[in-house]
Every structure is written in C-alpha cells, then in structure tokens.
C-alpha cells in the first residue's frame, strides 16, 4: 500500500489548551473502546488534569498525517496494518524525545503498548510506569476539536464502505519552555 506522511506542529499555552478538555464527554466515548479499563494509560483513572499539567507551561502538539494514495484499496486490513506500524513509529519518536530531553513529558498516540499484555487486565500495578504514557484523549481532551480548529483537519476512520483519504496520529510534548526541542530532528 502506498502512502506518505506529513507532519504538523503547533505550540499552545497549557491554559489555552484547557478549552478542549471535556473529561465526561471523552470518557463516555472511551467506554466503547476495547482498551477501557484494560490498559493503565486508559480510563478509568484518577489522574487530575490540573496537577498533571501543573509542571508545564506549553504543549507542542504533533500530528502525523498518513496520506493514503491507492484509491483501489480493497482491504481495510492493509490500511489498519500500515496505520498500526506508523503509530508505533510515531510513538517511538516521541519516546526518543522524552529520553533525550529533561523537563518534558510526552502524550502518545493511542493506548500504551509497551507490554504485550497490560498488567491492568490482571489488576497488577504497571511494572513500566516511566514508559507507560497517556494520550491526549485518555486525559479527557477532545482531539477531534484540536485537529479541526488548530490544524484544519478532520479525523477520518476506517470503515467498510470506503477507504479514508488519510489517517492521523496525534501526540504531544509538554514542556516548560517555548520551542524546547527541534521536533523535526525526531520525526521522520
């Protein structure tokens, strides 16, 4: 399957970001997901958004737009497989940013997948807490509104009727400084 990836970045003050926060609405959608209550990075959890964000002044939102070129795609499985590969690459790039830069935190795309089977399924604490990262949506942010208002993009989904034109991976770097990292050094 042929595709290309475009990256988009936007820095936002944490206080401005809070207009996209709607925990009740987002967590209601999360209840429909297979990872709900089965992954330590997913709801339900007791993460207080204000205390979580209090150490940071800025969020650097990153969008990887996966442009799908083959209009005759006859298999959603190949689209999903490519999307999962690119999400893993995207998240690995975010983890590299986290490891290389002090005083930052990352929010990955989707649920944490650092372990083959999350210990939450067995009701055991996470053994990999420094690597287990939240996503924007798992904290209660309306990612659909963020990408629509800031990036002028719509979230598209894979369905049985037609292939989407593109798919998105969305993550972020939280920091105390404006422009702390050259993101282009990490995203490829």
Q: Does 79 score more than 90 pLDDT?
A: no
Look at residue 51 and tell me whether its pLDDT is greater than 70: yes
Nearest-angstrom CA–CA distance, 93 and 99: 10
Q: What pLDDT does 180 receive?
A: 65
- Per-residue confidence (pLDDT) for residue 80, from 0 to 100: 87
Q: What is the pTM of this model?
A: 0.91
How confident is the model at residue 26, as a pLDDT?
94
- What was the pLDDT predicted at 181? 76
The whole-number pLDDT of residue 163 equals: 80
Q: Which residue has the higher pLDDT, 102 or 10?
A: 10
Average pLDDT (7-29) is 94
Using the predicted structure, report yes or no on whether residue 160 has a pLDDT greater than 80: no
Q: Binning pLDDT at 50, 70 and 90, where does residue 130 land?
A: confident
Between CA 59 and CA 175 the distance in angstroms is 6
Structure confidence at residue 92 (pLDDT): 94
Average pLDDT over residues 115-122: 92
The whole-chain average pLDDT of the chain stands at: 90
The whole-number pLDDT of residue 140 equals 95
In this prediction, residue 71 carries a pLDDT of 57
- SS3 annotation, the chain: CCEEEEEEEEEEEHHHHHHHECHHHHHHHHCCCCCCCCCCCCCCCCCCHHHHHCCCCEEEEEEEEEEECCCCCCCHHHHHHHHHHHHHHHHHHHHHHHHHCCCEEEEECCCCCCCCCCHHHHCCCCCCCCCCCCECHHHCECHHHHHHHHHCCCCCCCCCCCCCCEEEEEEEEEECCCCCCCHHHCCC
- Find the mean pLDDT for residues 126-131: 88
Closest CA to 167 of 60, 66, 79, 84: 66
Compute the average pLDDT of residues 150-174: 90
């Amino acid at each position: 399957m042929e595709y290309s990836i475009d990256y988009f970045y936007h820095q936002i003050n944490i206080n401005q970001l809070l207009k996209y926060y709607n925990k009740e609405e987002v967590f209601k959608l999360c209840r429909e997901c297979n990872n709900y209550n089965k992954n330590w990075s997913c709801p339900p959890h007791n993460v207080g958004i204000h205390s979580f964000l209090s150490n940071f002044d800025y969020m650097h939102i990153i969008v990887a737009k996966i442009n799908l070129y083959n209009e005759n795609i006859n298999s959603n499985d190949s689209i999903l497989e490519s999307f999962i590969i690119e999400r893993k690459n995207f998240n690995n790039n975010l983890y590299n940013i986290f490891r290389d830069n002090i005083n930052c935190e990352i929010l990955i795309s989707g649920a944490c997948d650092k372990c083959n089977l999350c210990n939450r399924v067995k009701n055991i604490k996470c053994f990999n807490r420094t690597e287990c990262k939240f996503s924007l949506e798992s904290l209660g942010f309306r990612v659909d509104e963020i990408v629509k208002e800031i990036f002028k993009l719509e979230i598209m989904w894979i369905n049985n009727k037609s292939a989407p034109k593109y798919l998105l991976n969305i993550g972020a770097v939280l920091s105390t400084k404006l422009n702390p990292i050259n993101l282009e050094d990490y995203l490829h």
